[in-house]
Amino acid sequence: MLRIHGSAPAVPLVLDSPHSGREFPADFDAAVSEFDLRDGEDCYVDELYLPATELGVPLLAARFPRTYLDPNRHRGDVDLELIEGGRWPHEYAPSGKAKIGKALVWRTLDDGRAIYARKLKVDEVLGRIERCHAPYHAALRELIDATHARFGVVYHVNCHSMPAVGGKQGEGGAGKPRADFVLGDRDGTSCNPEFTEFVRATLAAMGYEVKVNDPYKGVELVRAYSDPARGRHSLQVEINKRLYMDEATRKKHDGFATLQKNLATLAESIADYAQRCAAAARKAT
Ligand SMILES: [Zn+2]
Q: 112: number of CA atoms within 13 Å, CB side?
A: 5
Query: Ligand 1 centroid vs 24 CA: distance in angstroms?
Result: 17
Nearest to 278 by CA among 114, 93, 149: 149
List, for residues 178-233, the tens digit of each pLDDT value.
999 999 999 999 999 999 999 999 999 999 999 999 999 999 999 999 999 999 99
What total of structural domains would you count in the chain? 1
The CB density around residue 193, as the number of other CB atoms within 10 Å, is 13
List, for residues 261-272, the tens digit of each pLDDT value.
999 999 999 999
Query: Ligand 1 centroid vs 236 CA: distance in angstroms?
Result: 9
DSSP secondary structure, 148-194, as one string? HHHHS-EEEEEEEEE-SB--TT-TT-TTPBP-SEEEE-TTTTSS-HH
List, for residues 10-64, the tens digit of each pLDDT value.
899 999 999 999 999 999 999 999 999 998 899 999 999 999 999 999 999 999 9
Query: Ligand 1 centroid vs 169 CA: distance in angstroms?
Result: 15
Query: Ligand 1 centroid vs 237 CA: distance in angstroms?
Result: 9
Query: Ligand 1 centroid vs 101 CA: distance in angstroms?
Result: 15
List, for residues 110-138, the tens digit of each pLDDT value.
889 999 999 999 999 999 999 999 999 99
Q: What is residue 172's predicted lDDT score, i.e. its pLDDT?
A: 65
Range of the structural domain that residue 200 is part of:
2-284
Residue 169, pLDDT > 70, answer no
Residue 9, pLDDT > 90, answer no
Query: Which CATH number does the domain housing residue 244 bear?
Result: 3.40.630.40
Q: What is the mean pLDDT of the chain?
A: 95
